[in-house]
Amino acid sequence: MNNIIHARIRITGQVQGVGFRPFVYRLAHELELTGWVRNDNLGVDITIQGAQSKLMSLIERLRNEAPYLARIEQITHELLSEQGEFMEFNIIPSQDGRQRQTAITPDMAICTDCLFELFDPGDRRYQHPFINCIHCGPRYTLTAKLPYDRANTSMNTFKQCPDCQQEYEMPGTRRFHAQSNSCPACGPTLRLYDKNWQTIVTDDALMSTAGLIRAGKIVAIKGIGGFHLVCDAHSTAVTRLREGKQRDEKPFAVMVLNTTSAKCHAILSSKEIALLESPERPIVLVQSTHELPGIAPGLINIGIMLPYTPLHYLLFSELSPKKTDWLQQESPVVLLMTSANPYGEPLVTSDAEAQYSLTGLADAFLSHDRDILHRCDDSVMRVNVAAPQFIRRARGFTPRHILLPFSGPSVLACGAGLKNTLCITRENKAFVSQHIGDLDHAGTRAMLEETVAHLCEILDIQPELIAHDLHPDFYSSQFAANYAAQHGIPVIAVQHHHAHIAAICAEHRTSLPVLGLALDGVGLGTDGKAWGGELLYVAGARFERIGHLTPIAMPGGDRAAQEPWRMASAALFQLGRGNEIVQRFPKQSGTKTVVTMLQRDLNCPKTSSAGRLFDAAAGLLGLCERQNYEGQAAMFMEGLTIKQGRVEAQNNGYAITENGELDFLPLLNILADCSNKAYGAALFHATLGQGLVALIRRAAQQKNITTIALSGGCLLNSVLSAALIEELTNQGFHVLTAQQLPPNDGGISLGQAWVALQSFNQGA
């Protein structure tokens, strides 16, 4: 006969807002156990009583059968000496009080059950734009604080009707303790306004919105993390939207109904399909089969996403041809869907912001009365070397934490100046914020400050140490210095490329020495110069620069980053071919001035940047003389290389000096005389990859290290990263890459936090 025992069970991780308490409730009743379950600041707390074998079965099933959205870190249990007086098993109110150790679940796409109900005429939530359950819907963007209860979300102003309240309290339903639960009788409602913010009187706001889009209008639509600007991707509204957003050629993303429809526009692998259909629903960068005019000019890839809110699906239902089983059928509807923000500013989240910032951009506004508490852009990903890779980490993933191999003081890391994110650590967890953006504008600076305040509040921590980039002019560095002074805490500056490699070490939880290859646009070096193509020896908080690309001049300083013809001119001058500059770039009015600058070494700082090397190559090949957005020249190079296919590297295209300097001037000399642009782009990639591997191999032998970490924005180049990973792996190296964060500056904050923690541990 089984002994009756009394136990306390603790589950930590992503276990609130995912249906975990109803899941425990159902298991307990099935196993005839008594007691209770509740949320608290540590996670899920269970006190339970019953037969020992059934209690052990419960613990096993908690891990093996957990809800899909749950991320269990640890399940612990202890036997209690006294038995409780429990007649049944119940869910009891959440407990607050101790320091919060749990986290909020990210926002998730509508689940299949809710989608079925959304289009079931017999369901009471038929066509309800805010339908959700414990398995789907917004969490992070509408939660003010923990524990995750309705009173702590922006749904607290919507009182549930009797039917919804009954479901909310009934353990057998998908809406048992679903904090965003609502229906048409008691939930948020849609409102449609014209361009002057006058209410458009209509019986069906969504049908009217579809009519506007069909007529070629631009509509600003309020979603779960902010507004989108939406139009028909086949209409002339695309051109108007580009003009309004001052976005001459930077690519837009599009939304299609399903992967069947996506296949009409792109080549999709099984991994890309899985990523598109995942509950996180990122924008996925895929290879296009044809050009959608005005969407991604001159690029081989296109960003595609699928609907992830009920409102999206309702909009597609109005725009798509009415067919049986239309949700699975191919739809011709392609919607341009881009973040609603003025140039350089953060995402708009409220009607007041939209009225101030988007008037003149949009022809109409579809809004609703559920507040967005935290702005959160769409995540952007791609499949690179058969694995998912972040380009921008935000909705669907924020604020999912990254586990570290040790605990330490709470660190606030303030990130870089571009593609900014923040990172806050709590014990052995690192919480990286959603994408904030470039800190050149007042709005993004304000978003940085509000995100710091929000993360500190929701995680219930006061930072004990603050980290920032070595560059003193970054707003993030200035904010860090002021914050440290105000709170009386130590501050540490972390070199940019050290942080890139440290982020990879943190992800992979290794404190062992690695060789780190950091390839990006630019970062301030410890010598005060512009670095960007660096081979580092990294051991925790220490690093040593053991190799780098040969520095090349940047005529005009930062201006050269926008004008690849200037980098090409610098390469020609360095090759002794400066007399060709004026003749090669007749469309550029400043060629004679640049020649003079190079001759006199005026405003021509040197950089070892891999990004500027790409620019020089693109300029010499005549691919791109001026960039309309960051990385445009390199993306042109990547696309042509994919079309061209593999070519053999030029063995005499590079040289390595005794002090570890990797010189690609011989390659640039070859490209200067290459008339075949596609072949030249492919040759550049092949030779660049071969030279970098040779540099790494040489250093690995000297340092006796076999673990290589690859990071930096240039690692988003699928051709280069694939070549490096493949060749290094073939040569027996253990290669570490970014997996939970982007390799670009979006991962810098994690690296800064890692270095700060390592510094503390080494100094303790």
Q: What digits encode the pLDDT tens for the residues 234-256?
A: 999 999 999 988 888 999 999 99
Q: How long, in residues, is the chain?
A: 764
- State mean pLDDT over 410-420: 97
Mean pLDDT, residues 390-400: 94
pLDDT at 62: 93
Q: Which helix (H) or strand (E) holds 687?
A: helix 677-703
- 83-141: per-residue pLDDT in tens? 777 889 988 887 765 555 566 789 999 999 999 999 999 999 999 999 999 899 999 99
Over residues 129-174, the pLDDT tens digits come to 999 998 999 999 998 887 778 998 999 999 999 999 999 988 778 8
Q: What's the confidence (pLDDT) of residue 763?
A: 64
CA atoms of 179 and 169, how far apart (whole Å)? 11
Query: Which pLDDT does position 750 carry in this prediction?
Result: 98
Q: How far apart are CA 712 and CA 287, in angstroms?
A: 22
Distance CA 278, CA 284 (A): 11
Per-residue pLDDT at 762 exceeds 80: no
Say which amino acid occupies 623. Answer: L
Q: What is the pLDDT of residue 97?
A: 55
Beta strands in 259-305 (DSSP E): 266-267, 283-288, 301-305
Tokens of 667: 């390659």
pTM above 0.85, yes or no: yes
Please compute the mean of the pLDDT values over residues 532-555 and round it to a whole number.
96
Average pLDDT of 698-727?
97
Is the predicted pLDDT of residue 463 greater than 80, yes or no?
Answer: yes
* Per-residue confidence (pLDDT) for residue 287, from 0 to 100: 97
- The alpha-helical segments, DSSP class H, found in 391-514 are 442-459, 475-487, 496-507
* pLDDT on residue 99: 52
* Owner of token pair 């749904």: 155
Q: Are strands 707-711 and 734-736 parallel, antiparallel or unpaired?
A: parallel
Strand partners, 516: 536, 709
Q: What is the percent of the chain where pLDDT is above 90? A: 82
Tell me if 568 sits within 8 A of 616, measured CB to CB: yes
Please provide the average confidence, as pLDDT, over all residues in the chain: 93
- 57 φ, ψ (degrees, to nearest 5): -65, -40
What average pLDDT does this structure show over 505-514? 96
The strand ranges marked E within 401-448 are 402-403, 411-413, 423-426, 429-432
Torsion from C-alpha of 545, 549, 553, 557, nearest 10 degrees? -60
> pLDDT (tens digit, 9 = 90+) per residue, 294-336?
999 999 999 999 999 999 999 999 999 877 789 999 999 999 9
Q: How far apart are CA 371 and CA 153, in angstroms?
A: 9
pLDDT tier, 764 (very low <50, low <70, confident <90, very high otherwise): very low
Whether 149 and 94 have beta carbons less than 8 Å apart is answered as yes
In 3-state terms the chain splits into helix, strand, coil percentages (rounded to 5) of 35, 20, 45
Q: How deeply is 575 buried, as exposed, middle or buried, from its count of CB atoms within 10 A (0-12, 13-18, 19+)?
A: middle
Decide: 511 and 758 in contact? Cβ < 8 Å.
yes
- Those residues whose C-beta lies under 8 Å from the C-beta of residue 363, and which sit 6 or more positions away, are 194, 195, 212, 217, 218, 219
Give the per-residue pLDDT at 84.
73
Q: What is the DSSP string of 504-516?
A: HHHHTT--S-EEE
Stretch among 144-148, 410-414, 589-593, 736-740 having the lowest mean pLDDT? 144-148
Full set of structural domains in the chain with CATH: 4-91 (3.30.70.100), 190-381 (3.90.870.40), 401-495 (3.30.420.360), 547-700 (3.30.420.40)
pLDDT value, residue 103: 64
Amino acid at position 543, single letter: F
Four-point Cα dihedral 573, 576, 582, 583, nearest 10 = -140
User: Between the CA of residue 110 and those of 20, 132, 474, what are the distances in Å?
Assistant: 18, 7, 39
Winning range, highest mean pLDDT, from 29-33, 514-518, 647-651: 514-518
**pLDDT, position 18:** 81
Burial of 654 (0-12, 13-18, 19+ CB in 10 A): buried
Query: Helix or strand or coil: residue 420?
Result: strand
Q: b or e along 465-475 (b: 16 or more beta carbons within 10 Å of the residue's beta carbon)?
A: bbbbbbbeebb
Judged against a pLDDT cut of 60, whether residue 601 lies above it is answered with yes
Alpha carbon of 82 to those of 4, 37, 54, 88: distances in Å? 11, 18, 18, 17
pLDDT for the residue 115: 97
- Token code pair at residue 735: 């290669």
Residue carrying the six token digits 């003025």: 342
26 has a pLDDT exceeding 70: yes
- Which residues touch 227 (CB under 8 Å, ≥6 apart)? 220, 221, 339, 340, 347, 348, 349, 354, 358
C-alpha to C-alpha distance for 631 and 715, rounded to whole angstroms: 12
What does DSSP assign to residue 305?
E
Kindly report which listed range (23-37, 78-92, 149-163, 739-753) carries the lowest average pLDDT score: 78-92
In this prediction, residues 221-229 reach a mean pLDDT of 96
**Cβ distance 691 to 685 under 8 Å?**
no
